[in-house]
Amino acid sequence: MAGSSTGRGAHSSTRSTSPRRTAMIFESARERVRSISSSEVEPGGSRDVGLLVLRVGLAAVVGAHGLQKLFGLFGGSGIDGFAKTLTGYGFARGTSLLAWVTALSETGGSLLLLFGFLTPLGSAALLGVALNIVYVRAPTGFFLNGTKEGFEFQLVLAVVALALLFTGAGRYAVDARTPWGREPGRFGLAALAFAVVTSVGVVVFFR
């Protein structure tokens, strides 16, 4: 009787602890998967350096064009001169307003990218401007010709801005610990939609 009771007790103890052990095993496995996933997703040093180079390079190039339009720096024509250029591209109304919007988008978006702050917004601003330039220059062809009217240069800028929408700013940025810095893809889609809608709106309302 005693042996039977002891056997039943051991069997009952095994049954009671088995689910607990199973839960502990599953929890341990889940923690390992989380740690592996986080180590894979977290940007590496060389990748972050590459993103920093892309951001700063794009910001420098487009920002210089924005300063040409805003203040006439680097041999630029200023707002009035750029408004006349827009008229030549077929924009029939609100060219002064559009000139200001374009110049501020280029300059402001470049500053955001330079510091990696609100990167989806900065990238979307530059992407929207680049898409509009590609659109108005498309009839002149892809390659830069004698009149410098090809759209290949603007297409490269658009591609870089688009890439940054989905890669994020990287570790060396103000955005590094923000939700859009940790999960750039989700916010990148929203920013891409914003850039496309604003580009279409510019063509519809100003041409």
**Residue 20 and residue 34 in one domain:** yes
**Residue 29 and residue 88 in one domain:** no
**Residue 18 and residue 74 in one domain:** no
Kindly give the interhelix angle for 119-137 and 152-167, rounded to the nearest 10 degrees: 160
Taking CA atoms, 84 is separated from 38, 108, 192, in Å, by 52, 22, 29
pLDDT, position 58: 98
**Residue 4 and residue 86 in one domain:** no
Q: 122, exposed or middle or buried, with CB in 10 Å at 0-12, 13-18, 19+?
A: buried
pLDDT, position 43: 47
**Residue 105 and residue 101: Cα distance in Å, rounded?**
6
Per-residue pLDDT of the chain (207 residues; tens, 9 = 90+): 544 544 554 444 445 456 677 667 767 766 654 543 343 444 457 999 999 999 999 999 999 999 999 999 999 999 999 999 999 999 999 999 999 999 999 999 999 999 999 999 999 999 999 999 999 999 988 998 776 688 999 999 999 999 999 999 999 999 999 999 999 999 999 999 999 999 999 999 998
Q: In Å, how far from its chain's centre is CA 14?
A: 55
**Residue 91 and residue 131 in one domain:** yes
**Residue 88 and residue 13 in one domain:** no
Total domains, the chain:
2
**Residue 196 and residue 207: Cα distance in Å, rounded?**
16
**Residue 53 and residue 35 in one domain:** no
Q: In Å, how far from its chain's centre is CA 160?
A: 9
**Residue 122 and residue 105 in one domain:** yes
Closest by CA to 169, choosing from 49, 16, 32, is 49
pLDDT, position 144: 83
pLDDT, position 145: 78
pLDDT, position 23: 67
pLDDT, position 13: 46
**Residue 53 and residue 27 in one domain:** no
**Residue 30 and residue 94 in one domain:** no
Closest by CA to 160, choosing from 44, 43, 73, 60, is 60
pLDDT, position 37: 39
**Residue 1 and residue 51 in one domain:** no
Domain that holds residue 116: 43-206
